[in-house]
Structure 1
Amino acid sequence: MKIKELHVYGYGKLENKTFSDLGQLQIFFGENESGKTTIMSFIHSILFGFPTKSQNERRYEPKLNAKYGGSVLLVSERFGEVGIERVKGKAVGDVNVAFENGKVGNENDLKELLQGIDKNYFQSVFSFDLQGLHGVQDISEAALGKYLLSAGMIGSDKLLEVETKLQKQLDARFKPSGQKPELNVKLRQLKDLQSGVKKADEEQRTYIELQLKQKQTEAELLALKETINRNEGTLFYYQEFLRVQPLFEEKQTVQNELAKLGDVPFPVDGLKRLEQLVALKIPNNAQLSAMQQKQQENDTSIEQLNISPYLTANKEKWTAVLDNAPLLEKWEEEKSQLEQTLRTKEREKENYKNNLLIELHDDEISKLDTSIFMTEKIKGLEREKHRLESERTRLDEKYKLEKNSLEATEARIDELKQNQLPNEERRRLERVYSPHSNGNYATLKKEILEEQIAELTQKYSQLSAKAKRNRKRSAITATLLAVISLVTSGYFLIGEQFLLGGITALFAAIAISFHFFINQTDVLADLKQQLAHAEKKKRNDQQQTEEEPSLESVSIRHLLQKEEEIQQQLRAEAVKHKERTAAFHLVIEESERWEASWNKTNEELASIMQKWQIPFNSKDYHAGAALELLMNVKHAIDESLELKKKLARIERNFTQKKQELFTICDELGIFAANWREAVIIVKRALNQHLEQSMLLNKYKQEKRPLEMEIERLQSESAFLSDEMNQLFKAALVEAEEEFRKQARLAEEKERLTTSLQMISVQLEKTTFHSEDFDALSVSKVSRYSVEALEAERKDLFGRQSVLLEQLSDMKHRIRHLEEGGTYSDLLHQYNETKAAFNTEAKEWAKYALAKSMLDKTITTFKRERLPKVIVLAEEYLSFLTSGEYKRILLGETVDGLYLERYDGLRFEAGEVSRGTAEQVYVSLRLALAQNIFGSDGFPIIIDDSFVNFDRNRTANMIRLIQKISESRQVIFFTCHEHLLSYFENAPIIRLGKEKAGIRK
C-alpha cells in the first residue's frame, strides 16, 4: 500500500494544499512550525478519524474558517487506487471512500481497506516520532528490556504498561511480608477477632454479676438521697428562723414609737423650702437698695452735660469731610507720580520715533495699520525671507558641487581622448591581429574554472569554521567528562572501591583520546582535494594558453584590449557628462526661481514700509523689528493720553475736597493755613462733640435698665414674703422658730416610718409568717438545734460518697466489658470480616489470573511470532551499529532482551548506552512493520526520530530507510538540512512558513 497524493482542504495552518506524486521514498523538509507535524497528523486523521474534543489530542481545526478536512489517494494491491475524503461532520468526521471500480464506500469499507487496524495500532507500528525514543530515555534500566521486548511484539510499550498496572493492583492487595495491603490488614484483623471471641466467653459471667450488684447499689443510693433531702429541708427552715428573728423584734419596737408621736402636720420639704426662700430674700433686698442709689447718681450726671444743637445737626457733614482726608494725601502723592511717569513716557515715545526715523504726528501714528492680519503678514514675509536666505546658501553649495563634478568629467573625457589610438592605427592593428580559433573556448573554460574554485573555496571556509566550532565543543565536552570521571574515580579510590575507580579513570582517558584522535572529517579532506585539483587544472590551462601565441600577437592583443577599455570608459564618461550637465542646468533654474521669490518678498515688505513712511533697506532692514518698534510707539502714545486724563481727574477731585475743608473752618470761625491744618481743627471739634454725645447716650441707656431692675427686685421681695407665710400656715404656726421645731418632729416620724417599711420588705421576702414565727418561738429553736442537724447531714453525705465510689467502679468495669464487645457481637464481627476477606481475595485472584494470562500470551508471542521479527531486527541492528552488535536474544523468562556483541559478549538491555537502546528500539519497530500484512503493508512514516544518532549511525539509518523503501513506501519528515545530502535521488518537498515548494 502506498500514499500517492495528499490534498489538504483545511487542517491547522495548511489551507488548500496539494502534495501529489509522492515517491516510494518521500522526504518532507521544513523549519520548525512549517507544517511537518501537521501533515503527519493529517494523514492519521483522514485514515482513522479526527480527534474528538474529549481526547487529549490536538484537532488542528483551521483558524480562518476554511473547510476542515481533506483527502488521501492510496494505491493498494487488493483494491487499486482508492480516494479517501474526510470532512467535518460527526465526532470523527464524515468519510467517503471512492474505489477504482466506481464504488463509493463508508467507514466500514475504510476499515476493511485498512485491514481492521485502528489509529493507536498504526501509530505504534508504522508511525515513528521522537516520543518513542524519549520513552526509551525516560524508562529505568531495570524495565528497559521489557520495554524493548514489548516494542518488538506490538510496536509500543502497551504490554509493559499493562503488566506494570496488573502488578501494582496485585501488590496493592496482597504481599507476603506486607503491612499496608488490604488482604494483609484483614488477615491480621481475623486473627485478632478470633482471640477476642475466646476471651469474651470468659468475661460474660462476670458482666452479669456486676449488673445485679449495680442495681442494688443504685436503690440504696436513692433511699439515702431522700433522707438527705429531708435533713436539708429542716436545717434550712431552722436557719431561716434564726436569721429573721431580729427583724420581727425590731418591727414591734418601731410600731410602739410611732404610736407615741401621733399626728404631726408639716408641708412636704417645708424646712428646705424655708431655707431657700430666706437665702433668696436677703440678697434681693441688698441688690434693691444698691439699684436705687445708682439710679440717683445717673440722673445727676445727665443734668451736668451741655451739648450744642448746632454740632449735632452738622455731625454727618463733618464726618464725611474727615473720611476724605486720607484721599487728599493719596491724590497729592499720585499726582506727583503721574507727572513723573508722563514725562518718562514722553521721552520713551520720542526715542521710539527716532529709532524708526518717522516724523508723523501722534494722531497719524495711531491711525497706522498694525492689526493682527498685518502682523501675521509681516511675520510670514520675514519667515519666507529667512528661508530664502538658507536656500541661497544651499543653492550656492549645490552649484559649486555640480560645477566641480561637471568640470572633473570633462577633464576625464579629455584625458581618455588623448590616450586613444588614431583611427587608422587602430584599424591596422585589428587587421594584423587574428584571435586563435579556440580563444573563446579557452576564455569560457577559464571562467568556469574560476567560478568552480571560488565556490569550493567558500564551501571549504564554511565547513572549516564549522569543524573548528565542533572541535571546540568536543574539547569542552571531553574535558568536562574527563574531570567528572577523575573526580568520581578519586571518590571510589578513597572509598577503596578500586575496580570502579579504575573503570572511571579509563573512561577519562578514552574521552581525552577521542578528542585528540577523532577530530577530522572526510568531507573537509575531500573538499581540499577537489580545490587543489581545480587550481592545478587552471594553472595548466593558463600555461598552455600563454605558450601558444607569439610575443607580437600578445602585444597587439594587449593594445587592442587597452583601446577597447578606453572606448568603454569614454562611453561611460559621456553618460556621466550628460547627467552632470542636466544636474548643473537644474541648479541654475533653481537659482533663477529663488531670485524671483526674493525680489517679490522684498517688494511686499517695501510696500508696507512705504505705507508707514519708514525708510526701507532690503539687505539690512528687519521688518519684524520695525513692526515691534511701531507698536511700541503706538502703545506709548496711548499710555501718555491715559496718564493725562487720569492726572486731570485727580487734580479736579483734590481741589474740590480741599475747598470743603476750608469752608468748614470758616463756619467754625477758625483760620487754617493749609488743608492739613484744617483737617486737624475739624477732627478736634468733632471728637469733643462725639465724646459728650456718647456719654449722654450711655447715661440714657443705663437709666431704663435700672428702673426695670428696681421694679423686678421689688416684685420678687413681695413674692418671697408671701411664700413664707404660706409655709407657716400649712404647719399651723405663726413664727419662723415655731416652724423649725415642728420640722424636727415631722423628720423623726418620717425616719420611723421608713424604717418600718424596710423591715416589712425584708420580712416579705422570707417564707415565714407571723404564725410560723410564734410556733417556732414556743418550741425554743436555737443554734444548738442547727448544729445537731448539720452533724447528721455530714454523716449522710459520707455514706453517700462511699456508695457512689462503689457504683463508679462497677460502671467502669461494666463499660470495659461492653467496649470489649460481647461474645455474640465479636462472633458477628468475625464472620463479617471473614466475608470481606474472601471478597477481596477473589478480586486479587482476578488480577492474578489476568497477569498469568498476559505472561502466557507474551510467552506465545516469543515462541511463535517474535522470532521472525528478531531475525530481521538483528540484521537491522548489525547494519546500524556497523557490526558492533550482531544478535538479539530472548530471555528465558518474560523479563526482556539481551544483546550479543561482535566478540560474543552478551549484555542486558539496561547495560548498553541509551543510544544503542534507541537503535535496538528502531530495529524492532522496523522489523515488526516489515513482518505485518505481507506485501500490502502500510507506509512507514518517520518524523525526525534519529537526530540523536551519531554521524556514522545516522548515515547507516538513512541507507537502511532507502533499502526498506525498495519494498515499502517510506515518508520521512525532517527539519535538519544536512540530512538532505543523503537523499540526492529521492523527491524532496520543501515546506515554508507561508508556502510550500516541490523539488525533484
Structure 2
Amino acid sequence: MIIQRATIFGFGKWVNETFDFSSRAVHYIYGENESGKSTLHTFILFMLFGLPPKQCELYRPKTSGQFGGRLHVSLHGDMCMIERLYKGRHSEAVIYTSDGDEKGEVWLQDKLKGMTLATYQSIYSFSAKDLMGISDMQADDLGEIILGIGLTGVKNLYTVEKRLDQQLGSLFKPSGKNPLINQQLTKLQEIQTKANDWKRIELTYQEKQKHIKELEQSLRDIKHSISDQYEERFSIEKQRHALPTIQAFQSIHKQLKQMPERICFPEAGIERWEQLKEKLLPLKSKQAVLEANQSRYHNKIKLLDETLLPVDLNDDGKKMMEEMGRYEQFQDQIDNLSQSLQKQQQQFNTICNDLQLPINREEVSKLELSIFTEKNWKKIKEDLDQLDAKQLQLQLEKQQLAKHRQKLMEEKQAIQERMAKEHQLKQWKAQLQQAQTSDSSLSMDQQKRNAANWQQEKQRKQKQTRSFFLSGIIVAFVLAFVGSVTDYNKLLFVAPFVVVLAFFQWKMRAQSIKEMDRWFTASTSELDYSITDDERVRLEQSVAQELQFRTKLDAMEEQLKSVDVKALQQEEQQLQLSEQMRRMDECILAEQRIYPFLAQLAPQYWIDVFHSLKQLQFIHKRMEEDETIYNKQAQHMQTIHTKLSAFIERINGEWLEQTVQTQFQYVEDSLTKNEAHLNQRSYYENQLAENEWALQQIYEQMKPLELEMNHLLKAALVESEEVYYEKGKQKQRLQSLKKQEEELVAQLDFLFPKEKWQALLHKTPSVFELEQEEKKVHQIITELEAHVDEQQQKLAKFHTEVDILEKKEDYSTLIHQKEMEQEALHQQARHWATLKAAKEMLLQAKRSYQSKYISKVMEKTSLYFRELTAENYRCVYPPTVGRLFTVEKEDGTRLNVKELSQGTMDQLYIALRFAVSVSMSEEHALPFILDDAFVHFDSVRTKRVAMLLERIAQEQQVIVFTCKQDLIEVAKKRSFVQMLNSIRIH
C-alpha cells in the first residue's frame, strides 16, 4: 500500500487541509512541538483502522462540524479512496475504487490481510520512547518480539499460556503438597497403608502385648552393648589419628638432637636485611635518573632562550587576538543572516508560487489585512458550505417525496381496479336487506340471538382494535427512545410511520365494525326477500371487502394531501434558499471589488490565501530587519581587518596578501608557539630546581640504610651478604623445628593424657594392628545394630497391630473409600494430561514461528547496523541463554550490548526495527511511519539514517515526523512547503 494524498475535513487542529505523499522519496514532516505532527499521524491510523469512540472524542475539531477525511491510496497498483466520517455510517470506512464501485470495512480489512492497529504500530511504527530495553534483551525476549509483531492476537496467546500454567500447577507438582493430584496421591497412600496394616493383623491382643515387653527389654540390653563397642572403636580411631603425629614428633625430636642449641643471629635478620635492600635499590636507581635529568634540563633552557619573541610584540599580538573573536562573531552573524535571508526569500517565493498570484514584496507590504477581513472571509466560506449542504438536503427530500407520491398513486390505482361500482354495492346491500326481511325460516328469536352474538363479537373486535393501536404506539415510542440514545438515527424516522400505520389500521377496523352494525340493524326491519345461506354469506363477504377497500382509499387520499402540502413547503424553502444564495453572491462581489485578486479564487480558499498573505507580510518585515543588521556587521568587520593588516606588516609582510582568517591564524600560531616556549622554559626551570632538591633527598635517605646493613653484618659475626644468608637460614630451621615440636605436643595432649601418649612413644602400634582391631569392633557393632533394627521392626509391627485393634476401624469402609478416591484421581489425571498436551502444542507453535523469522531478521539487522555505523561493526548476533545481544567489530572484537555507547545502542535498536519491518513487508507492504525516532542522534548518525531510509523507500513508503533541524539540513536539496508552524518535505 502507498498513501498518495490525505485530505482532512476535520481532525484535531487540522481543518480542510491536504497533504501530498505522492513522491517516491522519504517524506519528512517537520514541525516544532504542538505543531500537529502527532495529530496527522493519528489521522492516518484512524483512516486505515478506525479508533475507539473515547479516543475519537479527543480529536474532535473545535472549528468545524465535520470529523473525518479521505485517504487516497494505491493498492497493488490500483487507485482507491478511503473515506471515514466519525458518527457517519457508524464510523465505518467507505472505499471508492477506480472502476466506480463502492466497498465497505470488510473489503478494506481483507486488503490489509487482517492487519490491526496494535500489530501495525508494533511493526511499522516506533518513536524515541521505544529506544530502550535492548540492553537487557534475552533470547526469549527477542523471540517474543518476533512473535508479538508477527502474530495477530498475541496478547490472547500469552493469556492462554499463563492460564494453562496456572491450571497445571494447581493440579500437580512433582514435589508439591497443595496441588489436587498431590493431595489425592497422599490420601490414597494413607488409605492403602491402613488397609494393608489391617489385613496383616493375625495375632491376638494379649500375645502382642507380651511380645512388646520382651522386645523392649532385649533392645535395652543390645543398645548397652553397642555403646561399649562404640567407646572401644573411638579409642582405636584416636590412636590411628594420632599415629602420624607421634611419628612426626619422633622425627623432629631426632633432628633437634643433631643441631646446636644456640645460633648467634639478629632477630628477624633475613627480613630486616631484605627490607633494607628493597629500600636502597630504588634510591640508587632514582639517583642515576636525577643526575641524567639535571644535564638535560640545562640544554633545553639554553635552546628555548634563542626562539622567544620580544615582549612588546607579544603584547600587541594578544590585543590583536582579542579582536579575532569579535571578527568571527561578526562573520558568523553575517553568514547566519545571509542564510536566513536566502531561506526567507525562498519561503516567500514558494508561498507566492503556491498561491499562483503575481505579487512581490512591495505589493505584499501594502496590503491591509485585518482580523475583520479574516472573520469575514471565514464566515463567507462557512455560509457557502451551509448553503451547499441545505441545497443537497433539499434535493434529497424532493426525490424521496416524489418516490413516496408515486408509490401512493400506484397503490391507489391498484385498489380502484379491485373495487366494484357504486350501483353494484347498493344492489348487494338491497339483496341482503330483502333476504333478512323475507326469510320465513328465521324466527324473531333467531334474529335476536344473532344480534346478541354480533354485539359480543363487536365488543371483542373493538377491544382487539384498541389493543393493536396501543401496541403500535408503544412500539413507536420504544423505537424513538432507542434511536435517541444510540447511533441508530434511522429509528427516529421509522417511529412516525409505525404510528401512522397503527392509526389507519384502527380507522379501517372501526369503519368495518360500523358497517356490520348498520347491516345487522337493517336485517331486523326487512324480511320480504329469501335467499340461500351460501348466497347470503357470499354477499356479506363482498360487502365487507368493498367497505374495506373504500376505507383504504380514503386513507390514501389523506396521505396524498399530506404529500402535496410537503411539496409546497419544499418549494417555499427553495425560494428562501435562492434568495440567501443571491445575497451571498453580493457579499462575494463586494470582497472581490476590494481585493481584485480574489476573483481568480473560489471563496472556499480565501481563508487559506489570507493566512498565506499574512505569512508573506511577516517574512517581508523580518527580511528588512535582517538586511539592516547585515550592513552594520559588515562595517565592523572592515575596521578590524584594517588593524590586522597593520600588525601583520610589523611581524611578517609576506602574509599581507593572505585572507583574514589565514592572517589571524598566523598571528594565533605565532603567539601560541611563543607562549608554549615560555611555558616550557618555566617548566624546565622548575624541573631543574625540583631535580636538585630530589637528588639531595636521595643522598640523605640512602645514608641510614647503609649504616643499618653494616650493623646487621656485625651482629651476625659475618662480613659478606652470602654468609649472612646461610647463617640466617640455619637459625630459621632451628626455630621451625622447635615450633613444630610444640604444636605436636599440644595435639597429643588434646588426644590423650600425657602418660598415655608418652607410653605410645615408647611402644608405637602399627597401622595394620589398629586396622585389625577396628575391623573386629566394627563387625560386632554391625551385628548388634542389625539385631536392633530387626527387633525395632518387630516392636513397631506389634505396636501398630495393637493400635489398629484398639481403634477397630472398618476394613470395608477403607476399600470403598479407596475406590472412590482412585476414580477421582483418574479424572484429575486425564484433565492434567489434556492441559499438558495443549501447552506443549502451544509452545511448539511459538518456537516454530520464532525460529522461522529470527535468522532472516538478524541477517538484515547486521546489514543495516553495518551501514549505520560506517562499517565499524560487521555482524550482530542474537541473544542466547545467559548472553545478551553481541556485536562484532571490523577487527574481530566482540562486545555485548551493555559495552556500547548510548548512541550505538540506539542505532542497533533502529537496525533491528528496520529489519523486522522489511521482513514483515514481504507479506504486508504497508507504509513505515517514524515519530521523532532519531531525537538523540548527532548530525553524522542522522545523515546515515537518512541514507538508509532513502534505500528502504525504494521498496516501501516511509514517512518521518520530526522536530530535528538536522534532518531538514540532510534533505535541504529537496523542495518543501511550510504550512503554518510546520514544514513538510517531500
TM-score when normalising by structure 2: 0.37
TM-score when normalising by structure 1: 0.37
Task: Name which one, 1 or 2, has greater alpha-carbon Rg.
Answer: 1
